[in-house]
Amino acid sequence: MSEKIIVFDTTLRDGEQSPGASLNINEKLEIAKQLAILGVDVIEAGFPISSPGDFEAVKNVAKNVKGPIICGLARALEKDIDAAYNAVKGSGRPRIHVFLATSNIHMKYKLKKAEDEILKLAAWAVKYAKSRCGDIEFSPEDASRTERDFLHRVVEAVIAAGAATVNIPDTVGYSTPFEFASIIKGIKDNVPNIGKAVISVHCHNDLGLGVSNSLAAVLNGARQVECTINGLGERAGNASLEEIVMAIRTRTDIFKGISTGINTKELYKTSRLVSKLTGMPVQPNKAIIGSNAFAHEAGIHQDGVLKERITYEIMRPEDVGFESSNIVLGKHSGRHAFTERLRKLGFNLNKEQIDKAFGSFKAIADKKKEVFDEDLETIVDEEISKIPEKFHLLHFYIASGDQVKPTAKISLKFEAKEMDASSTGDGPVDACYKAIDKITGTKGSLLDYQIRSVTSGKDALGEVSVKIESKARIVSGRGASTDIIEASIKAYLSAVNKL
């Protein structure tokens, strides 16, 4: 009989705490919907007390995403638990996740409370949360550095108080696989009422051991893993969902009778979406979903794979959703072929969106001979995620070179008016951004600027993502074009439009 591992995704909570990865309400909802398609069991959508924006985002996910349990995080405080409940109650399957630190270091320096007080507070918080919501998870924060006997007593007390899931976090990514396995085994062997709860784990990656520690815990009885897409999260991040899922799936000889409910063919798409919306790129050599994960460079390897794939490949690229890049469309492709291809790629657009996307496609097909699936996805993503444009690019002109001062002239449309400005800068992109600032009155600083090519070839689409900070708000923007200056302008304008 197969035992199922509950996949608890915290991309929208812990992942969003990655420095610089903040998401707005719509972006969170878009990711949550994709997580539901991916087949995760629980979505931790945020930390509702932390800000009104996060409260609204969790509420929005709870109301609009069907299938997974929707969970909100709370400290062991009445106001936190109330906020978490009010945010998730619109879901058909709400959960509150309460946490309280139990290690000597945290109790002494952070909470300034003794063991007995912590024990009472943990039990009280779970009881109170349970009076509001049927499904309660409790985490003794910094569990891996908590004195073992005390950890067992806390776990016993919160289960008695009504917690159906006890999550054992390696909060600071300090543990190692053998040690972490023994912590989980110790809980199984020593907590009398452990049979009434699911053991969960939440491992950080500070020593690069997040996935290893999680898997060691699974082999010792943990049945829920907390993880994130692309391994996002505080500091060095969390255990990555795609690595855990594919390790369990690939090594059925080791993880005997254990499986997850993840539709692995959606992994690559989910990874791309999260990377795009958070502005956090995925390194090419990242396991499972990096662009080089299935690329064989050495001649001997290529030869082997051509003769028999399993010589050097332990998973098939298509199992994680990599599709070979087909040349699908060109300048002469019609609307029907275009719509058909989008449907195959999983997009469900209304007529107006198709019209706009088809217009962008024609413009790109004019500049670029072959339009690949990745190009189409970029065009459509731009169309779908576009927020109302206050400022719209009409024209731009740049002069640049090693003998001239880079200069840009920009024309934008604002409420049916055309507005122009010129500026010089350190380079053409800088000059464009300064000209845009003049027109829009934006006073901000550019925190991050990244450019990547969507496909290969000299005529590839360039995709630019930027982050700007203005008045203590950080917003991101993206833009794509075969001209990287135009892509840079579009990305900057989409961020400015958010401000």
Q: Which is nearer to Zn ion, 141 or 375 (CB)?
A: 141
Across 85-96, b (16+ Cβ under 10 Å) vs e yields bbbbbebebbbb
State which residue, 205 or 423, has the beta carbon closest to Zn ion: 205
* Residue 208, helix vs strand vs coil: coil
Q: C-alpha angle 371/373/379, rounded to 5°?
A: 75
**Residues 289 and 245: beta-carbon distance below 8 Å:** no
Least distance between Zn ion and beta carbon 341 (Å): 40
Quote the CA–CA distance of 201 and 238 in Å, as a whole number. 11
DSSP 4-31: EEEEEE-TTTTGGGSTT----HHHHHHH
Q: Which residues bind Zn ion (CB under 5 A)?
A: 14
Residue closest to Zn ion, measured at CB: 14
Minimum CB–partner distance for residue 228 and Zn ion (Å): 9
Min dist CB 172 to Zn ion, Å, is 9
Residue 177: name the closest of 210, 145, 206, 199 by CA.
210
Closer residue to Zn ion (CB): 14 or 373: 14
Q: Which is nearer to Zn ion, 143 or 320 (CB)?
A: 143
Is residue 423 a contact partner of residue 442, using CB atoms and an 8 Å limit? no
In the complex with Zn ion, the residue whose CB is nearer, 14 or 375, is 14
Nearer to Zn ion, 135 or 141 (CB): 141
Minimum CB distance to Zn ion, residue 22 (Å): 16
The residue among 220, 225, 209, 219 whose CA lies nearest residue 172 is 209
Question: Could you tell me how many helices (H) and strands (E) the chain has, helices first?
Answer: 16, 17
What is the nearest approach in angstroms of Zn ion to the Cβ of residue 13? Answer: 8
Nearer to Zn ion, 14 or 135 (CB): 14
Q: What's the closest the beta carbon of residue 449 comes to Zn ion, in angstroms?
A: 29
CA distance 428 to 179: 54
Minimum distance of Zn ion from residue 153's CB (angstroms)? 23
What distance in Å separates the CA atoms of residue 151 and residue 471, rounded to the nearest whole number? 43
